[in-house]
Amino acid sequence: EDKVVQSPLSLVVHEGDTVTLNCSYEVTNFRSLLWYKQEKKAPTFLFMLTSSGIEKKSGRLSSILDKKELFSILNITATQTGDSAVYLCAVGNNNDMRFGAGTRLTVKP
């Protein structure tokens, strides 16, 4: 059965720390892997990855995909309290978009 596993489930850091969030997957007919940030309401899109080894970057956030080892990481450098959220990983194929359980990140001042 297809699955997406995120780790850790929760993480508490202090402002300025760097964090790495992990997403591993087993999905047939893989098309893309997406990262979302969810605060109180809707998940908001961060990155979409389709090719291995190509880093996507947006400010302090970056992500990369390894299609051979079936995982992705999301890095956040110099964390801020506004980064506190649940980070969701999702993997899509032709028929489904399967989400992981998420990593709850708490950044303390």
Partner 1 sequence: DAGVIQSPRHEVTEMGQEVTLRCKPISGHNSLFWYRQTMMRGLELLIYFNNNVPIDDSGMPEDRFSAKMPNASFSTLKIQPSEPRDSAVYFCASSLQGLGNQPQHFGDGTRLSIL
Interaction site with partner 1 (CB under 8 A): 31-32, 34, 36, 41-45, 48, 88, 90, 92-102
Nearest distance from C-beta of residue 51 to partner 1, angstroms: 13
Q: What is the spatial distance between Cα 96 and Cα 59, in angstroms, rounded to a whole number?
A: 30
CB of 100 to partner 1, least distance (A): 7
Only one residue has tokens 């999301």, namely 74
* Residue (17 or 38) nearer to partner 1, CB: 38
Question: What does each C-alpha distance from 64 to 12, 20, 39, 67 come to in angstroms?
Answer: 22, 11, 22, 10
Minimum Å gap between C-beta 45 and partner 1 is 4
Distance CA 14, CA 78 (A): 9
Alpha helices in the chain (DSSP H): none
Residue 44 vs 77, nearer CB to partner 1? 44
Between 72 and 79, CB nearer to partner 1: 72
